Amino acid sequence: MPELPEAEYMVRRLREAAPGVRITKVRVLRETVAEGALVKGALGGVTSYARRAKNVLIHLETGWTVRIQLGMTGHVYPVGQAGEWPRFTRVAFVLEGGGALVFEDARTFGTVSAVRTEHLAEVLAEYGPEPLDAGFRWQDLRAAAWGLRQEVKPFLMDQRRVAGLGNIWAAEALFGARIHPARRVDSLGEGEWKALHRSVRATLRRAIENTMKVTAGPEEFPEADLLLTRVYGRAGQACRRCGSVVERVVQAARATFYCPGCQER
């Protein structure tokens, strides 16, 4: 479930709550980690936190960067007390002075790795543009679909095309743009690309704001009803915009929600 907005939230929280910390020890509680040996060596002062797509990046003064792929249920957050790990802790970065940065991941789809910072760009090279970058224009979104014929929702979720959208916010962005999720990308007109581009950005911005607002504790993310989704998870309920009944279909082996009234084929 963590998509761009949730990853962004985690990074902002780390910046705020754990600036200038120093990692003195790495505890790997579960070998979900591809490069365990490297991760264990990821020690030293943290210079900054960043996000790329759904990755949380921890830059170290040593020239290493810890890359956290959140997977489905991953959370990274600071805790005050090292040693008493939250239930699903998989990796813990013990900090000088007693605290820790915890990576919790119930379903263990997430991964933690350490990368030489100078090689980070290559490692992340497959990701498409960041949709919230100031330079990301509607033409870029359309260009990302050049030569493709697939359905627009799987397209939006393909990290190589545009980074950061997952199942929830892809559905929400399509609702905002009034585009049916099964429309083929090569059938979208200029006006639809503009609307989609606008909606992707607005949806993600709203999701970040909302997450900042309603997230109570470090590891607690909004329940479905607090996500303020307009179609996701609302099958059988009335569309808030037109009153039609929101539908759930399976697309690319994923649940897709849309309003048949607002999003015509």
Site of interaction with DNA (CB under 7 A): 1-3, 53-55, 69-72, 88, 106-109, 147-151, 154, 157, 159, 166-168, 232, 252-255
Cβ closest to DNA, residue 24 vs residue 159: 159
Whole-angstrom Cα distance, residue 191 to residue 80?
Answer: 50
Give me the least distance between CB of 213 and DNA, in Å please: 21
Does residue 151 have an active-site annotation?
no
Q: Is 2 a catalytic residue?
A: yes
Q: Which is nearer to DNA, 95 or 163 (CB)?
A: 163
Active site residue 3: yes
- Work out how close the CB of 135 gets to DNA at its nearest, in angstroms, rounded to a whole number: 22
Q: Check 51, 52, 54, 161 and give the catalytic one.
A: 54
Lookup: tokens for 133? 């970058």
- Of 70 and 239, the one with the shorter C-beta distance to DNA is 70
Tell me how far, at minimum, the Cβ of 16 lies from DNA, in Å.
24
Q: How far is the CB of 168 from DNA (least distance, A)?
A: 6
Q: For this structure, is 218 an active site residue?
A: no
Nearer CB in complex with DNA: 69/203? 69
Beta bridge partners of 257: 248
DSSP character string of 14-55 = HHHHSTT-EEEEEEESS---TTHHHHHT--EEEEEEEEETTE
Percent helix, strand and coil across the chain, each to the nearest 5: 30, 25, 45
185 and 145 Cβ atoms separated by less than 8 Å:
yes
Which secondary-structure segment (H or E) carries 213? helix 190-214
Residues annotated as catalytic (active site), given as ranges: 2-3, 54, 254
